Chains A and B, each alone.
Chain A
Amino acid sequence: GENVEQHPSTLSVQEGDSAVIKCTYSDSASNYFPWYKQELGKGPQLIIDIRSNVGEKKDQRIAVTLNKTAKHFSLHITETQPEDSAVYFCAASRGGTYKYIFGTGTRLKVLA
């Protein structure tokens, strides 16, 4: 079945620096890739998503890139702020039931 690998598991950056989180998926039929942010004690919240017909998408300080050939996608956060500290999950989905397969998460710490 589909598998999604996510790296790194933890990431510490200085405030104002950039952070990059990478995911690799196994199912070449996957065509939708959301990214979720989970703060302590809360459920995950969608921050950005990308579909397979697009190579890059930006929303203010957040961007996602997709390489279908290599089957990997990445989350880029620029000008990081302390409130960006959280656990980030990538996911992959395909047609049919559109089930999300989540990665194992990256704990991002932004140091003030």
Chain B
Amino acid sequence: EAGVAQSPRYKIIEKRQSVAFWCNPISGHATLYWYQQILGQGPKLLIQFQNNGVVDDSQLPKDRFSAERLKGVDSTLKIQPAKLEDSAVYLCASSLATGQYEQYFGPGTRLTVT
């Protein structure tokens, strides 16, 4: 079974530039999550999708971050404009459904904002 795929693996941008990350969840998984993991901290949920609808985006900085999950499969997370404090690993995860199911994580995208 293929795992959660993410790209790119690494990205370096200057502040005020924009960046986009892509995630392909495990086939058949209805729920998709984007997490931000700052160095030395645990993952923090940014947004959770059930199919192509948003379940929770309470911690997404909506003035600069946006996410979509068209057709309920792949998802993209965008930052525009980026700030220095956005430097982090962005993890995508998926699970069978919303609930206390195992979340399967991708390898993450390491973003450095200079």
Interface residues of A (CB under 8 A from B): 4, 6, 31-32, 34, 36, 41-46, 49, 51, 89, 91, 93, 97-100, 102-105
Contact B48–A44 (Cβ < 8 Å): no
| Bound: A91/B48 CA distance, A | 16
Contact A46–B102 (Cβ < 8 Å): yes
| Bound: A105/B38 CA distance, A | 12
Residues of B within 8 A of A103 (CB): 42
- The verdict on A43 contacting B107 (CB below 8 Å), with A97-B56, A98-B99, A99-B56 known, is yes
Residues of B within 8 A of A31 (CB): 100
Interface residues of B (CB under 8 A from A): 4, 40-45, 48, 55-56, 91, 93, 98-100, 102-103, 105-108
Contact B99–A43 (Cβ < 8 Å): no
Contact B45–A100 (Cβ < 8 Å): yes
Contact A51–B43 (Cβ < 8 Å): no
For A32, A97, A105, the residue with the greatest tally of chain B CB atoms inside 10 Å of its CB is A97
Which single member of B40, B45, B56, B98 contacts A104 (CB below 8 Å)?
B40
- Count of A-B contacts judged by CB separation below 8 Å: 52
Residues of A within 8 A of B41 (CB): 104-105
Contact B107–A44 (Cβ < 8 Å): no
Contact B105–A93 (Cβ < 8 Å): no
Question: Nearest B residue to A46 by beta-carbon distance?
Answer: B102
Residues of B within 8 A of A102 (CB): 42-44
The 22 sampled A-B contact pairs (Cβ below 8 Å) are: A6-B42, A34-B102, A34-B103, A43-B4, A43-B105, A43-B106, A44-B91, A44-B105, A45-B105, A46-B102, A46-B103, A51-B100, A89-B42, A97-B55, A98-B100, A100-B43, A102-B42, A102-B44, A104-B40, A104-B42, A105-B40, A105-B42
Min CB distance B91 to A, Å, is: 5
Which single member of A45, A89, A97, A98 contacts B43 (CB below 8 Å)?
A89
Contact A93–B100 (Cβ < 8 Å): yes
